[in-house]
Each structure stands twice: as C-alpha cells, then as structure tokens.
C-alpha cells in the first residue's frame, strides 16, 4: 500500500493530517505535560495493545500501519477502528519503506517500532517482502528519526535472531538465525543499535513468542484454539516436543513501555520472555482442558526454519528494565481462548 493519509482530523505535526480522533488534543488525563510518540505497526497484534496502554497513560500516539497482506487485513482494520475511538490516537496509513515520514515523526519523543513482516515459514518464499518491510522500512525510519530529533527508538526484535543457539539465549551470546525472517530481524536490529549514540538512542527488545487476545491468526496457539473450539482436526508440524518461552502480550507491553525511559538501555539488545518454557504437547493438553474438547491432532513434518526450542535469559531485562513477567502461562492461555471464542462467535453472527 502506498502512503496515504485521510484528512478526517486535525492532529498531526506541521499540518500533516492523519486519521485522527477529533478530541485528540486534550491535555493528558494525569495532568502532566502530554508526551508524543509514534507506534509503527499500530494495527498489529502487539502494536494495538501497546497503543491502548500508551493512550491510557496520557501519551499522544501517532500510529503508522500499511495494512499489509501478511494475514487478513480485516483484522488489522478492526483493531485500527477500535484505536480510532481513543482520545489521543491518530492513524497514518502507508508503507514505511516509501511513505513520507518526517511530518509524522516531528515533535515525537519516542518511536516504538513494531511495524514489520512477522512469521518464519512464509519468509522462505517471499524474502523480498521481508527485506522491504523489516530492513528497508527500519533504515528509512532511523534516518527520519535522526533528522526529526526523536530521542529514542524502541525496536521490536525477535528471539528468532538466535536460531538454534545454546539455551538459555543470552544477549552476549552468538546469533545465528535460520530463516530469512530471523536474518531480516537481526539486520534491522543491528541498524538500530548502530544508530544509537549518533544523535539517537535505540534499544532492541528481543520478544519471545507472544500470545494473548488478538494474537495473529498464523500463530500456533490461535490456530490450535480455533480448531479445538470448532471441532476441527488440528495440524501439528513436528512431534510437539518443540519448546517455546511464551510471553503474554501485557507483559511484552510492560517491557516495551519501560524501554522508552530506562537509563542505560540505549545501544543494547534485551530479551523479553515469559520466564517459563512449555512444549507444544503441553500447550495442546492445556487447550484441551480449558476448552473441554478432545483434540484430533494430525502430526505432519517439522516446518522449515522453526527452531527446536527457545528460552530467554532475563538478567538484562531485570536489571535494565526492572522487568519480570507477571502472567503465568495457564492464565494467559485462558485469556486468549476466551478471546478466540468471542471472536469466532462475532464472525459467525456477521456471516449469519
């Protein structure tokens, strides 16, 4: 999608008009001077949660999203529509790899850079899209952030940069991504950290498998929960022994907000994990318990590019961000299943 802004509101730097909530110029609810930030990937799974949290804390948030075809754009549009109802949020539609960015970034103190193309498996087939959405977009954003005197960029990196490294993954250890996705995330992360100290502060948060309400439809827990609730057979890629350090979305948001101001964070990559490791077999068993359904699991070959196990060393997150995950896996899983059930129900209502 090319850069486009729709002049429905007045919010925006130097006359730039984005899709804005008309009451977005109110003072911060806590009476403090209002802070302004940009969130890229605002209509995405994690970005939409982050925007809600920031607006709730009184930030003025300028969201950017291209509504790419990585999955059904209707999900992104519906998240964006909900954000548009919040005071202090405005939306700028366009592709960061080509759209004008300076007007949106001018006057912003922090850029939370979550926009990009996620997903390991498709990255083998459409690598050029990953390079454009993850690497080119990040390079353009960093250039604009430096020109516009943004104080800090917080980048959403990924545990995929580690590949099948020694566990627990530590930021001082080797990176060895085994998919084009992981390689593009590492390249973008290095660009961010390389820009740190050259007129810009930058932090890269390495997120570990994020789950919770509004999770992307291509991610495991969402796929498993939908199949269970709809009494459909469920495809499991591999034997289920794969292990993931699952992180609840509210915990990810907590760490991301902390990274905006944490002293000593600039120039660092920091792991953000849920603090407990769970196998896919255990995930399926919990989904069966929580939905009350017997699962019809069909095992298939391991997927290319999927690492065997992930586990975050969280020492740096604790010491620099003061972060520790609060939501236990079973509790977060119940939250996601409840959201998936509601989501399926509302889709059925619309279809009826």
Ligand X SMILES: NC(=O)c1ccc[n+]([C@@H]2O[C@H](COP(=O)([O-])OP(=O)(O)OC[C@H]3O[C@@H](n4cnc5c(N)ncnc54)[C@H](O)[C@@H]3O)[C@@H](O)[C@H]2O)c1
Q: Would you please indicate which residues are annotated as catalytic (active-site) residues?
A: 181
Instruction: Tell which one of 95, 201, 245, 336 touches ligand X (CB under 6 A).
Output: 95
Sites for ligand X among residues 255-294 (CB under 6 A): none
Closest CB to ligand X among 88 and 118? 118
* Residue from the set 210, 234, 260, 325 that interacts with ligand X by CB under 6 A: 210
x/- mask, ligand X, residues 175-204, rule CB under 6 A, reads ----------x-------------------
Do 142 and 200 contact (CB within 8 A), yes or no?
yes
* 58 versus 110: smaller Cβ distance to ligand X: 110
Residue with smaller CB distance to ligand X, 59 or 155:
155
Cβ neighbour number for residue 233 with a 10 Å cutoff? 9
88, 61 contact by CB (below 8 A): yes
User: Is 95 or 103 the residue whose CB approaches ligand X more closely?
Assistant: 95
97 binds ligand X (CB under 6 A): yes
Q: Which is nearer to ligand X, 247 or 266 (CB)?
A: 247
**Could you tell me the CA-to-CA distances from 209 to 91, 160, 220, 268, 312 in Å, in that order?**
27, 9, 10, 20, 11
216 is a contact residue toward ligand X (CB under 6 A) = yes
Size of the site for ligand X (CB under 6 A): 30
In angstroms, give the least distance from the CB of 117 to ligand X: 5
Q: Measured between alpha carbons, how far is 34 from 211 in angstroms, rounded to an integer?
A: 30
CA distance 311 to 170: 9
Q: Are 117 and 129 in contact (CB under 8 A)?
A: yes
Shorter beta-carbon distance to ligand X: residue 46 or 260? 46
Q: Pick between residue 161 and residue 295 the one whose CB is nearest to ligand X.
A: 161
The residues near 84 (Cβ < 8 Å, ≥ 6 apart) are 19, 21, 91
CB of 95 to ligand X, least distance (A): 4
- Cα–Cα dist 84/93, whole Å: 13
Q: Which two tokens stand for residue 130?
A: 């990953």
Give CA–CA dist 39/283, Å, rounded: 31
User: What x/- string results for residues 30 through 59 when contact with ligand X is judged by CB under 6 A?
Assistant: -----------x-xxxxx------------
Stretch that binds ligand X, among 205-213, 231-239, 279-287, 340-348 (CB under 6 A): 205-213
Give CA angle at 218 (216, 222), nearest 5°: 65
Nearest distance from C-beta of residue 349 to ligand X, angstroms: 24
Encoded one letter per residue, x for contact with ligand X by CB under 6 A and - for no contact, window 58-77 reads ------xxxxx-x-----x-
Distance of CA 45 to the CA centre of its chain: 6
Q: How far apart are CA 226 and CA 310, in angstroms?
A: 24
Q: What x/- string results for residues 112 through 151 when contact with ligand X is judged by CB under 6 A? A: --xxxxx--------------x---x--------------
Nearest approach, Cβ of residue 298 and ligand X (Å): 24
Residue closest to 213 by CA, chosen among 89, 311, 75: 75
Residue 206 Rama label (left phi>0; alpha psi -120 to 50; beta):
beta
Q: What's the Rg (C-alpha) of the chain?
A: 20
Under the binding rule (CB under 6 A), the answer on residue 225 touching ligand X is no
Question: If binding is defined by CB under 6 A, does position 156 make contact with ligand X?
Answer: yes
CB contact at 8 A, 269 and 157: yes
DSSP 3-state of 297: strand
* Contacts to ligand X by CB under 6 A: 41, 43-47, 64-68, 70, 76, 95-97, 114-118, 133, 137, 156, 158, 185, 207, 209-210, 216
């Amino acid at each position: 999608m090319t850069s486009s802004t729709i002049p429905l509101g007045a919010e925006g730097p130097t006359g730039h008009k984005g899709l804005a909530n008309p009451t977005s110029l109110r003072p911060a609810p806590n009476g403090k001077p209002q802070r302004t930030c940009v969130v890229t990937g605002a209509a995405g799974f994690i970005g939409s949660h982050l925007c809600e949290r920031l607006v709730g804390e009184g930030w003025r948030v300028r969201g950017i999203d291209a509504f790419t075809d990585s999955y059904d754009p209707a999900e992104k549009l519906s998240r964006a529509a909900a954000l548009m109802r919040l005071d202090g949020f405005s939306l700028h539609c366009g592709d960061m790899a080509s759209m004008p960015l300076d007007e949106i970034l001018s006057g912003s103190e922090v850029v939370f850079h979550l926009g990009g193309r996620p997903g390991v498996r498709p990255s083998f087939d459409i690598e050029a899209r990953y390079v454009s959405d993850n690497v080119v977009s990040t390079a353009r954003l960093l250039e604009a952030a430096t020109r516009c005197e943004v104080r800090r960029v917080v980048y959403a990196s990924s545990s995929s940069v580690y590949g099948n490294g020694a566990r627990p993954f530590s930021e001082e250890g080797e990176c060895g991504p085994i998919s084009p996705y992981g390689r593009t995330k590492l390249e973008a992360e290095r660009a961010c950290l390389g820009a740190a100290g050259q007129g810009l502060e930058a932090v890269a948060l390495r997120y570990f498998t994020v789950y919770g309400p509004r999770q992307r439809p291509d991610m495991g827990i969402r796929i498993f929960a939908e199949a269970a609730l709809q009494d459909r057979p469920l495809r499991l890629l591999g034997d289920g022994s794969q292990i993931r350090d699952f992180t609840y979305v509210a915990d990810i948001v907590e760490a991301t907000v902390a990274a905006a101001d944490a002293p000593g964070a600039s120039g660092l990559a920091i792991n953000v994990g849920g603090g407990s490791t769970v196998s896919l077999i255990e995930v399926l068993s919990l989904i069966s318990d929580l939905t009350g359904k017997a699962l019809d699991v069909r095992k298939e070959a391991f997927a290319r590019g999927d690492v065997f196990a992930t586990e975050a060393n969280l020492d740096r997150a604790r010491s620099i961000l003061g972060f520790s995950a609060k939501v236990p896996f079973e509790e977060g899983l119940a939250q996601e299943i409840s959201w998936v059930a509601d989501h399926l129900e509302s889709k059925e209502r619309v279809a009826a």
